[in-house]
Amino acid sequence: MHDLLARLAWFKSVILPHEPALRRQVRRLAAPGVDHEDVISEALTRAYSASDWSRIDRGRGYLFTIARNLLFDAARRRSIVSFHQFADLETLDVPDGAPSVETIVSAEDELRRLQEVVDQLPPQCRRVFLLRRVEERSLQEIAVALGLSVSTVEKHLAKAMELLTQALAERDPVIPASTAPLWRRAKHGR
């Protein structure tokens, strides 16, 4: 159980911040006919399943290498790889040294992104989500305030989270690619 939680924590802090960048790159580079979503979710699942996860602290390079291999395989299977595409696929292998421009996001940008995304939720979902996440009301309190049952409140919250997860996966988080996340500092005592 402890392993599961540790792996989840690692995955969230080391891998997931790079999902938006991964999505952009895969969409840009996938050969025609290759299903982007398939490659993205397969890359994430393989990254999650890494046996030596605790030694991986540069998520971007790791994730992108997996994605590149998947794209190669997919292209090879369809035997439609051009020179040009091979060259492009090489560019997927972004080193973890300096953060790429696209991932430098200020706290303010992040806030604006979050607000945009939240503003697009259906009204009732948004209300429930904000009351829970921002105002930290219990589902019970929210149910009373909005005149709904607790299970309806829960359903609205679930819907809000589903939509938010999808929308935020397209938007870079505030943590740039180069930064060693907190768990690593804790681990190596740095």
Near another protein in 2-41, by CB under 8 A: 4, 7-8, 11-12, 16, 19, 37-38, 41
Going by C-alpha positions, the residue among 14, 68, 23 that lies closest to residue 177 is: 14
Closer to another protein by Cβ: residue 68 or 129: 129
Closer to another protein by Cβ: residue 29 or 40: 40
Helix (H) or strand (E) holding 25: helix 19-29
Reading the block at residue 129, the tokens are 């989500």
Near another protein in 82-121, by CB under 8 A: 104, 106-108, 110-111, 114-115, 118
Question: How far is 37 from 28, CA to CA, in rounded Å?
Answer: 12
- Shortest CB 112 distance to another protein, Å: 10
Helix (H, G, I), strand (E, B) or coil at 34: coil
Closer to another protein by Cβ: residue 31 or 143: 143
Instruction: Establish if 141 lies at the interface with another protein (CB under 8 A).
Output: yes
- Shortest CB 171 distance to another protein, Å: 9
Helix (H, G, I), strand (E, B) or coil at 129: helix
Near another protein in 160-179, by CB under 8 A: 161-162, 164-166, 168-169, 173-176, 179
Characterise 104 by phi-psi region: left (phi > 0), alpha (psi -120 to 50), beta (else).
Answer: beta
* 54 Cα distance to chain centroid: 19
Reading the block at residue 61, the tokens are 């390079």
Question: How far is 25 from 105, CA to CA, in rounded Å?
Answer: 18
Instruction: Establish if 56 lies at the interface with another protein (CB under 8 A).
Output: no
Binding-site ranges for another protein (CB under 8 A) = 1, 4, 7-8, 11-12, 16, 19, 37-38, 41, 44-45, 48-49, 104, 106-108, 110-111, 114-115, 118, 127, 129-142, 145, 150, 154-155, 157-159, 161-162, 164-166, 168-169, 173-176, 179, 182
